[in-house]
Each structure stands twice: as structure tokens, then as C-alpha cells.
Structure 1
Amino acid sequence: MPDGARIDGPLLDGAAWRARQRAHEARVDAWLAPHLARRRAGRKHPVEDFLFTYYSHRPAQLRRWHPGAGVVLADADVADFGRDYRAGPAGVTLDTAAVRARRAESIAWIRELLARTAGRPGQFGCFGMHEWAMVYRQRAEEVRHNAWPLRLRPERIAGTVEENRVRCSHFDAYRFFTAPARPLNLLTPTRERQPELEQPGCLHANMDLYKWAYKLSPLVPSELVADCFELAREIRTLDMRASPYDLAELGYPPVRVETAAGRAAYAAAQRGFADRAAALRARLLSAI
């Protein structure tokens, strides 16, 4: 490095940043390989494929490593990192100002949502009824994951929804409710009301940390995006175990939220996820 050359942020030598890159790729490959194999074979998995089909981040994008804002990569080629990077005397770094200027509105919206969500107490009384409301009063051919059987008869599913007072605060879950289920919800979530209603106990709000992380990429390090993906993957597992679907054949024993014991188990797991999500939400806010 020339004498007097200014370094914009932490400097990683070639060995250090390439080790981080390889570790990220190996971590992500363990998630991607089974999904890509199923996709090639034309098979679907209602739990493991969800994060790749519901969210817009493509597998190749998840695998690609970014160091995050302010990090300088010595012995790097700017062409390997894309249009958002620039070369300087010390190495390659993200052009943070340009990315922030281009995405200013989106970043501000994400920051407000994360901050307002973090500032509310968590609610733990929904017991996963959103998945039940998505099949409420449906015919068998209308059920979303109809390749898999339901654990209970339709009348028992309907009774469970009606007895447990649906209280979903998350718009992207609520919008998949069946038409008869929507009036049963205590709230009427909309996209416009999302910052007003989202709360840190919600499984879907915590799963969505993955979405906000990748929408902030490459401003945030890829390790943080992967951490959010990992949490979302575990949350999705609970989400479907507590659903009315019978996925035991796939290795997912049910959390029977139609019973008091099942509801207690669900709420305990939900609290654990909320604690982990709070730490990730704080890291995203700090990065912003």
C-alpha cells in the first residue's frame, strides 16, 4: 500500500477475506444442494423449499459473498464484486454512498419497520392459527399444499380456528387467509399498516428478517444475511409442524396446537425465536 493511502474502513488481507468467502459459500451450499436437487428432479418440499419460492432472493444471490459496507479487500479484483464496488489504493470496497443514494427510500422504510417492531412487546397468543386460517372452510382441492394430507377433519380444523380467536398481525400471512377466515381475525392488516402492526413475537415478522437482510445487501455482510436465513428456516419448520398438515412422513412431528399442551409448546418455541430475532434485528439496525 502506498505511503499515506487512506483506508475507508477495516482492511482484510487476501487470505482473510477469501477464508470468509469460502466459509459463507460452504455454509450456504449445505442449504442449497438439497433444494437444487429437488428442483432438477421436479420434486417439491413444503418446508425446505419455502424460503426459495416465497422470497425473491435467488440461490445464487444467497451464495454470493459480500463483506458489507466500509470493508476494504486487499488483493481483490473489482470486476469480481460487481457494479457497486470501486477500487482504491488499499483495495476494493463497496461504494456505500452510491448504494444508499439509489435505495434511500427502501432503506428508510426498512429501518422504520425494524425500529418500530423492536420497540413493541412481543405477543405470544396466536398459537400459529394463521396456517389454519389458510385452509379454513376449504375443499380438499383448494388446499395450498394438497399433496400432503391434513391431520384433522375439516370440521375440527374449523372448530379450532373459531375457538382460538385468530389474532394475526402480519399482512403477508393474513393475505393468504381464506375469505371466510378473514372476518374472524381480530385485526385487518394491510401493507400500509405494516409498520404500525408488526410485533416481535410474530413468527412471520421474524422470518422476514431474512427478506430485509437481503434487501439491504450488499450494505450488510453476507454472514448476517445467512444468519437471518438460518433463523427463518428453523421458524418455517415450527410453522409447518404447528399447521394442520400431516408432515410426519417427512420427519416433522406435529406440534398439536389444537391442545393446551401443544399451545404451550408453541408459545415457548415462539419466545425463543423472538429472542434470537431481536439480536438479528438489532444487528440490521446497526448496519443501517
Structure 2
Amino acid sequence: MRFGLFGTGPWAHMTHAPALAAHPGVEFVGVWGRNPDKAEALAGEYGVRAYPTVDGLIADVDAIAVALPPDVQAPIALAAARARKHLLLDKPVALTVAEADAIAAAVAEGRLASAVFFTRRFVPQLQEFLEQTRKTGGWVEARVHHVGSIYEEGNPFGASPWRRERGGLWDVGPHALALVLPVLGPVTEVTAMVGPRDMTHLLLRHASEAISTLTLSVDTPPAAARQEAVFAGKAGVVAVPAMRWEPVQAFTRMLDELLAAADGGPQPQLDVRFGAAVTAVLAAAEEAARTGRTVRLTA
């Protein structure tokens, strides 16, 4: 399958480009970026073409991979889906519900394969844990703390303008939701409050009547950093296990799922429909924090 890569930042260099170049089922065709010099440099590393226009790269491939801010990603993804190209997107898929829904609708209309890179969710051990937890059932509560700082020296994502503007809710919130939604089901009500240094607290009611609480930040004091998640219910209190993972391997597994889906296999669980559901919860949380009211969603 011929792939085009959109984006030239750290994530494209660290993950997307090496995974695309190494996969035996992929022909890495070219790169587009907002900075033409950076696009030329990244393309040159892999012996592919740097494209001057979005439409030109879309026209020459069967699928696209995107490593761009969500507000830049969304219109490119929609154009590609309307051109009947398969999609590998980053999270969140968009910053508005309307854009996320439009992408999902275009993918469904074109009967395309799609996947969204919720990183650790493509680690087999985590997939197995969440599936077993879902089957166990009887959960009444989940708690997720995804709290850290991207502004420590050496972090490649600290210079990202969209992360500075949107904070932990939109950056690490998708990862937290990707843990609780498969187990507790769709969200029906959202309450949120924002504290100092972008610390965002979400209280979510799910269609299963379970409640989840998410604590999110990308700008916390280093001593307060933590990543932990637990489910509680009839089976007791079960912690999501810590596990080592490597981004290129996770991206490669996502590629495997997309290629299989494009060949008639099942759609990835983490497709653009799931991505749109995550965007809906994040947008509701933003509204709830701004207005001080509970926002209701249709499950």
C-alpha cells in the first residue's frame, strides 16, 4: 500500500517515518510539511519525494499517515477520505465535533480503513488486559491519573504550540479515555474543572452507569507526576498494569491492522469513529469547565 506522510516534527521523525519505511507491506512514497525545508530533509533521509502540496501527495498514494496538530490534521484527513484514501491519524483526530464527525462520515461513505494512534493501546498486553476487564464486567468506577510535564528539559513536545494552548485535556485526555471507554462504555454526562498549571479534572458518567474520574496535566511539578489507572467493582480493585512499550512497534501494529482492514478484514477498534467519540467527550469537558455546568452527550 502506497503511503504519504504529513508532518515533519519530532513524532514524524521518531515514529511515523521509520515505521512506514520498515514495513514490508508499505511503499513509503513521500512527505509533506508546513516547512518545505524540513519536508525536504525528512524525505531525503528515506529517499522519498518531498511534496509541495497536500493535494499532490494525496493524489499519489493509497493511504495517509498524519503527524500534525489536530487543527491541521483534520482538513487534510477529510480531503484524503473524500479522495478515497485510507487514514492513519494521530490523536485527537480534530478539535471540534463537527470536523471529527465529518471525517468519520467520509470514511464510512468510502468504506475505507482507518486507525487512530492511541500509542499504548496498540501494545498487545494492554489490549488483552482491557478486553478481559470488559468481559469481567460489574465495574462501578474507574480512576485515571495521567499527570506529567512536557516542559522539562529534553522533552521534544514542549515546544508544541497547540499543546501549550490546549493543555493536558486534549493532549493526554485521549489516552485516558482510550482506557476507560472500552470497559465502561460511552459517556453520557461530563463535568469538569480546571486548576492551576492546566490540571484538569473530569467526572464522567457512562452508559453503564459507572463513573470515571480523570486527572490530566502536561504541566505539573515533576514531583507530582504520575500515570496510574484502576477499575473498581464486583471483582475488586484492578490496576492497569505498567508495561514497557516502543512507539515504532506500536505504530507497526497499527499499520498491520489497517492493512488487514483494507484487505477486507475487521476494522481496527481504534478507528475514526472511536476518535470522533473521544473528541466529543473532550469538547464536552471543555464546555463543562468553561460554563460550570454538566454537559450531556448522546450515548
Instruction: Assess same fold via TM > 0.5.
Output: no
TM-score with structure 2 setting the length: 0.29
Structure 1 or 2: larger helix share? 1
Identify the structure with the greater strand proportion.
2
Larger Rg: 1
